Amino acid sequence: MNNFEDLLDAFKNGNISRDEAIHRLSSVQEMELGHTIVDLDRRRRTGDAEVIYCAGKTPQQVRDIVSSLVEADERVLATRASEETARAVLGLFPEAQYNETARIVTVGKSAENSGRPIAVVAAGTSDLPVLEEAAATAEFFGHEVIRALDVGVAGLHRLLRRIDEIRRARAVVAVAGMEGALPSVVAGLVDVPVIAVPTSVGYGANFGGLTALLAMVNSCASGVSVVNIDNGFGGAYTAHLIAR
Amino acid sequence: MNNFEDLLDAFKNGNISRDEAIHRLSSVQEMELGHTIVDLDRRRRTGDAEVIYCAGKTPQQVRDIVSSLVEADERVLATRASEETARAVLGLFPEAQYNETARIVTVGKSAENSGRPIAVVAAGTSDLPVLEEAAATAEFFGHEVIRALDVGVAGLHRLLRRIDEIRRARAVVAVAGMEGALPSVVAGLVDVPVIAVPTSVGYGANFGGLTALLAMVNSCASGVSVVNIDNGFGGAYTAHLIAR
Amino acid sequence: MNNFEDLLDAFKNGNISRDEAIHRLSSVQEMELGHTIVDLDRRRRTGDAEVIYCAGKTPQQVRDIVSSLVEADERVLATRASEETARAVLGLFPEAQYNETARIVTVGKSAENSGRPIAVVAAGTSDLPVLEEAAATAEFFGHEVIRALDVGVAGLHRLLRRIDEIRRARAVVAVAGMEGALPSVVAGLVDVPVIAVPTSVGYGANFGGLTALLAMVNSCASGVSVVNIDNGFGGAYTAHLIAR
Amino acid sequence: MNNFEDLLDAFKNGNISRDEAIHRLSSVQEMELGHTIVDLDRRRRTGDAEVIYCAGKTPQQVRDIVSSLVEADERVLATRASEETARAVLGLFPEAQYNETARIVTVGKSAENSGRPIAVVAAGTSDLPVLEEAAATAEFFGHEVIRALDVGVAGLHRLLRRIDEIRRARAVVAVAGMEGALPSVVAGLVDVPVIAVPTSVGYGANFGGLTALLAMVNSCASGVSVVNIDNGFGGAYTAHLIAR
Amino acid sequence: MNNFEDLLDAFKNGNISRDEAIHRLSSVQEMELGHTIVDLDRRRRTGDAEVIYCAGKTPQQVRDIVSSLVEADERVLATRASEETARAVLGLFPEAQYNETARIVTVGKSAENSGRPIAVVAAGTSDLPVLEEAAATAEFFGHEVIRALDVGVAGLHRLLRRIDEIRRARAVVAVAGMEGALPSVVAGLVDVPVIAVPTSVGYGANFGGLTALLAMVNSCASGVSVVNIDNGFGGAYTAHLIAR
Amino acid sequence: MNNFEDLLDAFKNGNISRDEAIHRLSSVQEMELGHTIVDLDRRRRTGDAEVIYCAGKTPQQVRDIVSSLVEADERVLATRASEETARAVLGLFPEAQYNETARIVTVGKSAENSGRPIAVVAAGTSDLPVLEEAAATAEFFGHEVIRALDVGVAGLHRLLRRIDEIRRARAVVAVAGMEGALPSVVAGLVDVPVIAVPTSVGYGANFGGLTALLAMVNSCASGVSVVNIDNGFGGAYTAHLIAR
Amino acid sequence: MNNFEDLLDAFKNGNISRDEAIHRLSSVQEMELGHTIVDLDRRRRTGDAEVIYCAGKTPQQVRDIVSSLVEADERVLATRASEETARAVLGLFPEAQYNETARIVTVGKSAENSGRPIAVVAAGTSDLPVLEEAAATAEFFGHEVIRALDVGVAGLHRLLRRIDEIRRARAVVAVAGMEGALPSVVAGLVDVPVIAVPTSVGYGANFGGLTALLAMVNSCASGVSVVNIDNGFGGAYTAHLIAR
Amino acid sequence: MNNFEDLLDAFKNGNISRDEAIHRLSSVQEMELGHTIVDLDRRRRTGDAEVIYCAGKTPQQVRDIVSSLVEADERVLATRASEETARAVLGLFPEAQYNETARIVTVGKSAENSGRPIAVVAAGTSDLPVLEEAAATAEFFGHEVIRALDVGVAGLHRLLRRIDEIRRARAVVAVAGMEGALPSVVAGLVDVPVIAVPTSVGYGANFGGLTALLAMVNSCASGVSVVNIDNGFGGAYTAHLIAR
């Protein structure tokens, strides 16, 4: 009886009082850790585990949250995890896995998704961490991932050589810094949504990725939508919602 | 023999020369109007008709493009069409339709899409034109549309009352100006992608929609991606790629 | 005879000369420490002790200012105090208290305020230091404080569960980073002023809190006013002026 | 039986079905006008009438909203009303009043507020429309208003001459363009909250009021909070929430 | 004796006095028109005629400047010429020519340049005026011009079809609005300098061309340099300096 | 014969050849140090010694430049000197002086200036380094300096108490961070030029002093002109040019 | 007995009561016009007449202010006066003068200033209105003005030819748009203060003069201070304070 | 048979299959290193070696790329190389050379270019690293380089003394921070393209070089085009494309 609908019915039928209903409503779905309220009901509601954004949390805080999720039988995806945070989690859960490039810790994984894969493409070598964050996220949610690195628009032949493979995907996450042109070119070559992820890669007048962000928002190609700078997770999460 | 694969094979088999191949490649798919190159092959490649962005084109130019598309048996979607532009098109094609609020002219329409609908929600009355541009676009591509207007976050009860209906959708286009908070709140209540469309509605420090755009890009909710300011078409087009 | 009105009357009655009046005016209310002019008359004028903003001051300078205030029988509130600064003050005044999360040192405290409490709400875990700065400030000035952490708009149920409690307050300080939507949602649910405090929490295009600041200034809800980024003290001080 | 609590109880007691409850919930409090959903329950919930922001609405739309409010026995405050809009309303409700400088239409008015007045001060002549919007708003909500125009910081004596009068207020709305220094100076002279309203008055590098907005947010004085550029209504509404 | 070197020698040889030298230096090369100082010596010094930027000048002022240049036997290139300005010039010099799309008036023309041509490419139809300004400028200075319109990166095949022709050029002027990606793609396909001209074409977050400008400055391709927004003349002038 | 006029006459009289003239012109006035060209003629031309901006120069480079100036009998003012740089100079020239707060090294000093003094006023304690840079610069150039610290606009009485003294000055350098209001208030109280120096002091939305800079440029008071952020030297140098 | 000192003494001596003192203080120096408070005491305090900034005032308001100043025997300088405003003033005061280019109306004039002149230099023809506003202001205050138009840095010889004349000035007002380089070059050639006035002249990425403003604030030359964009009056007023 | 044309012909002639053609196309020109795809065909296509941008690559990655290029008989230019990276390369290739100021590692060099030289000029001492990056790049590509350091516009005589030498160049790379005026002044004195390189040198409101970038883009001189902030390589590469 730990969901909204059941509780409401129980209340309606007089099985529980209104106060009781409200009390249960509050307690069953979440667990207060002092520093954080862990949402233990999220998978039931949305189909997905809760994701832990580690930046700005201490390794201990992250470990606590992971613990309460694991106890509740949830799989765990923790992004922006430093090595220290990863060690804190792996010390407790040896079955956890740390993808160092992606800065992601996972415990468990979704069932395989039998649908079309997700493509994650990136313009240059320095975009690798963001590409990996996106790819690891998509894989956590059970998707096959097509990776294409170093396919920036100044060397079109590299992209064109991979394009048939990329076209297999149900959604494309396109990662680029500098002038951020990759998503526009890709969107002109595929017929699925392109999620553009600007990166803070660059120098001079790139303003920590703002230039790429604005360029992507102004894309001349239809079917491009944009997430925050360096937000590989966010790009992949939207792709997952599309592809599942 | 009007596509890339056929032409390449014909060339391989010696049926046509290399020059001939290149020449045909160029001519069959497009028609040059002097001011514009109309892509007559787009529907075959992507499944969708070409869209005409009328801003910055004269009524005559738009009418010419519409003509060449209609002659090629294409359906037509023309956005940002002024009344004058609409009149120019309707003068020639009485079967065309003009949605004045959405500023959209259409000739023909996609087949009904039997899948889940697309929801288009907006924060306030002044967002109506952008909401309509998104809704009319989605309808042109054959989708059922769920409209929810005036569901801004300062009056949560209005949104909550509509939320069950919105949850039927395969994708949500969330339109908002001012502080642009609507997509974040919606994304916390649904389990499908939310395409956020910032609008230039507001005054003072809204900077023509930039404030809403930045807020949306910084959404604390997963599953939100963003298109350009006032780009109702773009939001709906991505939703269409998701829902088809 | 240490205030403006008395001095003016004394001058009028010929009890003191004009030069004397000006001299006294200058000397009685303030104490020059070389690096700073301490305002010893502020509580009489405004009802509140002077607040020390420690950032940009050495521990020794802060200790000097605290000393002159304590000698003048004032209570002390020092914000943005580093641990080193706190130690410098506590070494001299063992009765002082250091709130490490809030980075606040206090000596003494205002009398209890018998009125309605002040609510301090925050969107996420990372907003905790700013929330605590606000809460500790309000408590220093004698107010009961209602704290609500982790009530961001992407999980509305968390906020709604606390809303009845929040409604008891005479003013709400709403702390949020990222898209800064919390104050708008809160202001739609209460009938008291909401003081919005943007935080620098976030990444990518949040620009150190500017995005949240602009979003809050553009709030679609009436009754929201905004203070500087991370300025928990400022938000609580305005709430104190409202609630006292 | 037109509020949330009653409906919930009736549903609990079996007096009405769940569907009926939801249906009533939706219908009793609001009236859909096609273009707008009018909130007829707002005064009960918040104590204040709904405010109509006329910018971006046609005179007919405004007239419709006014009508439904008047029929529901509400008082009306409509801001940013053009002359044409005012005429549309006054044609229907001759008892309505139009303050041309403030661009405000009112029908009815709150009961007199017996508390301390609200001061509205402005730096220069060109700030007059914003000052008047603030003053008329405060008066609509039943407050006595102290107006002080042309008290900019480059002529301090003008402000100082009015300061005793200003100190009578429970809250000060301080309106200024250009360098936006007035709220800082005023807040140093009073012991109540100062709501700063930046105006778009100025030229050159004032960026439509952004310079004043940023300056006010950075105020060195405690007790200053800020609303949007030219938002006289918003400043006064917060002052009203403080003073009532 | 109307150049710097001759005058210096004459002064050295005692043929003219120092005052005389200075006086002549001032008068022979320029003609003061009251509102403008026309540089009649520029072609001798730089090989190019002086160019008149008509924006911000009255038709009469432009006509006066043209007159003094024609009298001094100069060719004339006047950019940003309104129709009214063009009429003023053509009324006096029937041999003048007005390119309406390019908003350029010319009198006379440079000798044919026998070198490699200049390519002027543009992303979309709305970039046509800037493309024409660049093309007409290059032609005025005697260059063969290769025009390629509507070759934006969302439809790569259009660009690739023209690329062999573009590769004939000694320099490429690449004109684009929106996300400004065209110069990056072109520079990856040619081995000559690419001068990027951002245009103010676009909507939403394009900020009058700033987005395209920043994107171009951040190009990931080597060999791209950038001129001001909409500055077709400037792009072509640099190309002319390269190709002559 | 080490100035322009003498050299020109010698050339005219045939005493030296043109080549010789050009050679001497280059060599007598400057000394190349490899990394820098030291201008040894500046004092003759402008009346002031050359100033060394140490930021971005190694201690050795600064010491070299100081040496060549001292050898040429010049006085030296070196700003933004780190302690290490100061030690490098003082090791060689024990008569040099280091003002640590102002980060200024001087060797020698201008003759006393008998005119009216220069006032240097600052809003808060944290502005002290910039105030000192300005004051030490003015003193180096021989001016009496009136210092007024901690006279920010949120405590007007502090400024008013010092105003008679400040009015003695021929020019006022007004230093302020945060909202940058001090120059406006001062300029309304004096009848001499006010040079405003914004400082990077502040937090949140102060953008490293940009907010103060913009506010000062938008000053509502006449007679205010502005130099770069934290540029105490620049403010004082202009004041020196006014007062000498 | 119409100044502060006299009134204070009279009050001290018991000749007038405190209320009377305050009353007189308020009334003698200023005249309230409803829309404006005219400062009739300014010339006594600062030596200069009050200046009317006409932008944002109706012709009638300006005429009223001029009238009250003329009645008080003041000279009048009204800037940013439209033709309509000028007509309103000249209709009443036929002796008034309107400088159309400068958009300035004057009534009367200061006594000749016998000191060194003020130079006003500008980069291009389009800067003429700002140059004229500066020049006319300086002339109103009694200064000889040296005008140098069209001396932009892309044609250095034009500036160098005028430099000896410019060096006669006690202060230079340097007006420039676009890249705003003129003040830096001028300041390297003179030994008096240079007041830089950025103009909004330009196109593309000039942002209404912001580019020039920032460039000027970052001048590599000492002795440059900056006023607001297009603020010819402000530049000249500071020059006047220097030169008088 | 390692280029596109040969492969296509072989395919046409049936010598290789389509799959084989595609496979070879991919493999012969590039070498995948895991982290990077090295383009071994670039020199044949463009005449220039591939350039390695070391920022964001580990010393090991750079060493790998250098190795594969050297093995393919390519010359190597690696920019933004840290000392550690340089050591990693020099350890393997003792014939490599490290220019520490320019932060450039080279292996081999282009043949001497017999054409006109490239001039690299810079405004101040702190621009030295960018000037050297440009100069070393130009030398790597076989050009004679004319260096002119410390020729900023505040000391025009320094620039004028070098101008005859600079005029020998086929293209000028003009490096400047602060107000970025140097390219405008230089372009007025030469008749070849000026490539402007803004630097991040400066303080206060220079915004990491943005001020100089905007100023250069707004240059009033024709023939100026701009590359990214601190991009000495980019400026020189364009100059190389012009001069070869």
Q: Does D199 touch chain F (CB under 8 A)?
A: no
Three-state SS for G114-154 is: CCCCEEEEECCHHHHHHHHHHHHHHHHCCCCEEEECCCCHH
Cβ(C1)–Cβ(C29) under 8 Å?
A: no
The residue ranking higher by pLDDT, F183 or F69, is F183
E181 and A153 within 8 Å at the Cβ level: the answer is yes
- Cβ neighbours of residue C102 closer than 8 Å, sequence gap 6 or more: C129, C132, C133, C135, C136, C137, C232
What does the block give as tokens for B52?
Answer: 């005409």
> Is the separation of the CB atoms in A54 and A62 below 8 Å?
yes
Smallest Cβ–Cβ distance between C228 and the set D51, D193, D217 belongs to: D217
Mean pLDDT by 10 residues, chain G (244 residues): 52 68 53 68 72 88 91 89 96 94 91 90 91 96 94 88 93 96 95 96 87 95 96 97 94
Smallest CA–CA separation between F44 and chain G, in Å?
A: 11
**Contact by Cβ (8 Å): C214, B214:** yes
Look over chain B and give the mean of its residue pLDDT values, rounded to a whole number.
87
B5-40 exposure pattern, b = at least 16 Cβ within 10 A, e = fewer: eebeebbeeeebeeeebeebbeeebbbeeebbbbbb
Distances in Å between the Cα of D35 and the Cα atoms of A65, B122, D59 are: 46, 12, 13
Give the pLDDT of residue E23. Answer: 54
Interface probe for F, chosen from G5, G118, G241 (most Cβ of F below 10 Å), is: G241
> Closest partner residue to H204 among F29, F39, F209, by Cβ?
F209
Sign of CA dihedral B184, B185, B188, B193: negative
Q: How distant is the Cα of A151 from the closest Cα of chain H, in angstroms?
A: 9
H12 part of contact set with chain B, CB < 8 Å: yes
Residue D116's contacts (CB-CB under 8 Å, 6 or more residues apart) are: D168, D169, D170, D243
The C-alpha of H237 sits at a distance from chain A's nearest C-alpha, in angstroms, of 15
Is pLDDT above 70 for F21?
A: no
Supply the mean pLDDT for chain H: 87
For G134, list phi and psi in degrees, rounded to 5.
Answer: -65, -45
**Residue C51 dihedral angles phi and psi, to the nearest 5°:** -105, 135
User: Which residues on neighbouring strands pair with residue D121, listed in sequence order?
Assistant: D148, D174
Physical contact, C and G (3 or more Cβ pairs within 8 A): yes
Parallel, antiparallel, or unpaired for β F145-148 and F118-122? parallel
Contact across the interface for B203 and D231, Cβ inside 8 Å = yes
Query: How is chain D split among helix, strand and coil, in percent rounded to 5?
Result: 45, 20, 40
Q: What share of chain E is helix, strand, coil (3-state, %, to 5)?
A: 45, 20, 40
Any idea of the CA torsion for A79, A83, A86, A91, to the nearest 10 degrees? 180
Confidence class of residue H8 from pLDDT cuts 50, 70 and 90? Answer: low
**DSSP SS3 for B74:** coil
Cα separations in angstroms, G29 against F187, G24, G110, H164: 19, 8, 21, 64
Share in percent of chain H as helix, strand, coil (round to 5) = 45, 20, 40
Are A150 and A124 spatial neighbours (Cβ–Cβ below 8 Å)? yes
Window D:29-68, CB contacts with C under 8 Å: 45-48, 51
Q: In E, which residues are within 8 Å of H51 by CB distance? A: 222
Of C99, H36, F121, B82, the residue nearest A152 (C-alpha): H36
DSSP structure class, residue H170: S
Q: What is the mean pLDDT of chain F?
A: 87
- Which positions ≥6 away from G234 have C-beta within 8 Å? F222, F224, F225, G197, G227, G228
Residues in chain G within 8 Å Cβ distance of E25: 161
What are the residues whose beta carbons fall under 8 Å from the beta carbon of B38, sequence distance 6 or more?
A: B30, B31, B32, B50, B65, B68, B69
For the record, the structure tokens of H26 come out as 């991919």
Q: By the CB < 8 Å criterion, does G179 face chain H?
A: yes
Contact H180, H172 (CB under 8 A): no
For H68-77, what is the mean pLDDT? 87
E206 and E169 Cβ atoms separated by less than 8 Å = no
Q: What is the pLDDT of residues B6-58, one digit of tens each?
A: 555 666 677 776 566 555 544 445 666 666 767 766 666 667 777 899 988 88
Q: Indicate the pTM of the whole model.
A: 0.89
| Rounded Cα distance, G21 and G31, in Å | 17
Q: Would you state the pLDDT for residue F3?
A: 46
Cα D188 from chain centre: 25
Question: D204 vs F189: CB contact, 8 Å cut-off?
Answer: no
Output the pLDDT for position B198.
Answer: 97
Q: Which residues of G touch F197 (CB under 8 A)?
A: none
Residues E94/E68, Cβ–Cβ less than 8 Å:
no
Residue segments in chain D with a per-residue pLDDT below the cut of 70: 1-12, 18-35, 37, 40-41, 44-45
Please report, for chain C, how many H helices and E strands are present, in that order: 10, 11
Give D-chain residues touching C51 at CB under 8 angstroms.
222
Distance, first Cα to last Cα, chain F: 28
Chain segment H140-153, per-residue pLDDT in tens: 999 999 999 989 99
HSE-up of residue D11 (Cα within 13 Å, Cβ side):
21
Residue-wise DSSP of B95-124: T-EEETTTTEEEES-PPPP-S--EEEEESS
Residues B142-185 have pLDDT tens digits of 999 999 998 999 888 889 889 999 999 999 999 999 999 999 99
In total, the C-beta contacts within 8 angstroms joining chain C to chain D are: 69
Sequence-distant (6+) residues with CB within 8 A of G81 are G54, G62, G89, G98, G103, G104, G105
- Chains F and B touch, contact meaning at least 3 pairs of CB atoms under 8 angstroms apart: no
* F4 at E interface, C-beta within 8 A: no
Tell which wins on pLDDT, A135 or A204: A135
Among the listed ranges A91-105, C1-15, E99-113, which one has the minimum average pLDDT value?
C1-15
Q: E149-200: per-residue pLDDT in tens?
A: 989 998 888 898 899 999 999 999 999 999 999 999 999 999 999 999 999 9
C159-163, C221-225, F17-21, H195-199: least confidently modelled range: F17-21
SS3 sequence of E102-114:
CCEEEECCCCCCC
Q: Which chain G positions have a beta carbon within 8 Å of D158's beta carbon?
A: 30, 37
Q: Which of B88, B107, B86, B87 is nearest to B96 (CA)?
A: B107
Q: Do D220 and F188 touch (CB under 8 A)?
A: no
CA distance B81 to C8: 73
Alpha helix (H) ranges present in G47-195?
59-71, 83-92, 128-140, 156-166, 182-187
Sign of the CA dihedral E157, E158, E161, E162?
Answer: negative
* Angle between the N-to-C axes of helices A18-29 and A4-12, in degrees from 0 to 180, rounded to the nearest 10: 170
Q: Which of D44-53, D192-201, E202-211, F96-105 has the lowest mean pLDDT?
A: D44-53
**Closest residue in chain E to residue G151, using alpha carbons only:** E37
Q: Of C132-141, D202-211, E43-52, which one has max mean pLDDT?
A: C132-141
Kindly list the distances between the CA atom of residue B136 and the CA atoms of A149, B75, F16, in Å, as whole numbers in the listed order: 38, 14, 85
The answer to whether the Cβ–Cβ distance between D36 and B205 falls below 8 Å is no
φ, ψ (nearest 5 deg) of residue A148 = -135, 105
- Span A4-27, mean pLDDT? 60
Q: How confident is the model at residue H58 (pLDDT cuts 50, 70, 90)?
A: confident
* Distance of alpha carbon E225 from alpha carbon E212, whole angstroms: 13
Nearest 5°: the CA angle C166, C171, C176 is 75
**With the C-alpha atoms ordered G218, G221, G223, G227, is the resulting torsion angle positive or negative?**
negative
Question: What ipTM was assigned to the predicted interfaces of this complex?
Answer: 0.86
Q: Is the dihedral of CA D184, D190, D196, D200 positive or negative?
A: negative
Whether the Cβ atoms of residue C136 and residue C79 lie closer than 8 Å to each other: no
Closest Cα to residue D173, out of D216, D204, D218? D216
Backbone dihedral angles phi then psi of residue A49, each to the nearest 5 degrees: -65, 160
Predicted pLDDT of residue F104: 96
CA distance C140 to chain F (A): 22
What SS3 string covers D24-64?
HHHHHHEEECCCCEEECCHHHHHCCCCEEECCCCCHHHHHH
B128 to chain D: which residues are within 8 Å by CB?
35
pLDDT band at A170 (very low <50, low <70, confident <90, very high): very high
Q: Is D157 near chain A, with CB under 8 Å?
A: no
pLDDT at position A4 over 50: no
- Count of residues making up chain A: 244
Dihedral, CA atoms, A156, A162, A167, A173, nearest 10 degrees? Answer: -70
Residue H51 burial (CB count, 10 A):
17
Whether the pLDDT of residue A5 is over 60: the answer is no
In this prediction, what percent of chain B has a pLDDT beyond 70?
Answer: 83
